[in-house]
């Protein structure tokens, strides 16, 4: 591995840890030339699953796009980066475990929303508003009705 600072290919691994629910390895390295430290990640190269968009275009599945969408939905919400990363890892695990070669963007969006609904209701509605392309306030109300109904049922049981 070349040092990102001095570009010399001479380093040693200081620490290795499993991360992303065991799907990657985080390594702390030290350059033996400039003595600076940096982090690398080793990830299993997955088979190329394609996401079929609404317009029929196929593009590679990207955990980074899932993370970016979740980060936008969770902006200014009490959700940690670890919770977002755990959600991304959970979605990715399901996709690679159950899909052979292609997944519809609609199916992928529903999968993300099912995890997000358990994490934070406001973030869920934000994500749904973009994903389902809400046109007006009625769309928001229609999405909120089942959530409010479930909350009322939970309060009645208490």
pLDDT of residue 140 exceeding 70, the answer is: yes
Select from 24, 43, 49 the least CA-distant residue to 105. Answer: 49
Q: What is the predicted pLDDT for the residue at 56?
A: 93
pLDDT of residue 48: 82
The mean of the pLDDT values for the chain is 88
- Please tell me the predicted confidence (pLDDT) of residue 103: 94
| Contact by Cβ (8 Å): 3, 11 | yes
Query: pTM score, two decimals?
Result: 0.63
pLDDT at 154: 74
Edge-to-edge strand ranges of the sheet holding 58-60? 58-60, 50-52, 102-104
> Which position has the higher pLDDT, 61 or 22?
61
Residue 133 — left, alpha, or beta (φ > 0 → left; ψ -120 to 50 → alpha)? Answer: left
pLDDT greater than 90 at residue 150: no
pLDDT at 46: 63
Question: Kind and range of the H or E element at 59?
Answer: strand 58-60
| Calculated CA dihedral for residues 103, 105, 106, 108, nearest 10 degrees | 70
Residues 74-100, mean pLDDT to the nearest whole number: 92
């Amino acid at each position: 591995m070349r040092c990102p600072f001095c570009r010399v290919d001479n380093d040693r691994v200081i620490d290795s840890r499993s991360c992303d629910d065991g799907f990657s390895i985080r390594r702390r390295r030290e350059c033996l030339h400039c003595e600076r430290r940096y982090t690398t990640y080793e990830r299993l190269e997955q088979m190329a699953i394609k996401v079929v968009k609404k317009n029929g275009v196929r593009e590679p599945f990207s955990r980074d796009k899932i993370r970016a969408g979740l980060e936008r939905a969770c902006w200014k919400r009490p959700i940690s980066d670890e919770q977002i990363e755990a959600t991304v890892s959970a979605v990715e695990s399901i996709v690679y475990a159950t899909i052979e070669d292609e997944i519809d963007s609609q199916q992928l969006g529903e999968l993300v929303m099912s995890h997000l609904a358990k994490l934070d209701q406001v973030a869920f509605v934000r994500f749904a508003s973009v994903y389902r392309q809400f046109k007006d306030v009625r769309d928001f109300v229609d999405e909120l009705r089942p959530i409010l109904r479930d909350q009322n049922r939970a309060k009645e049981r208490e």
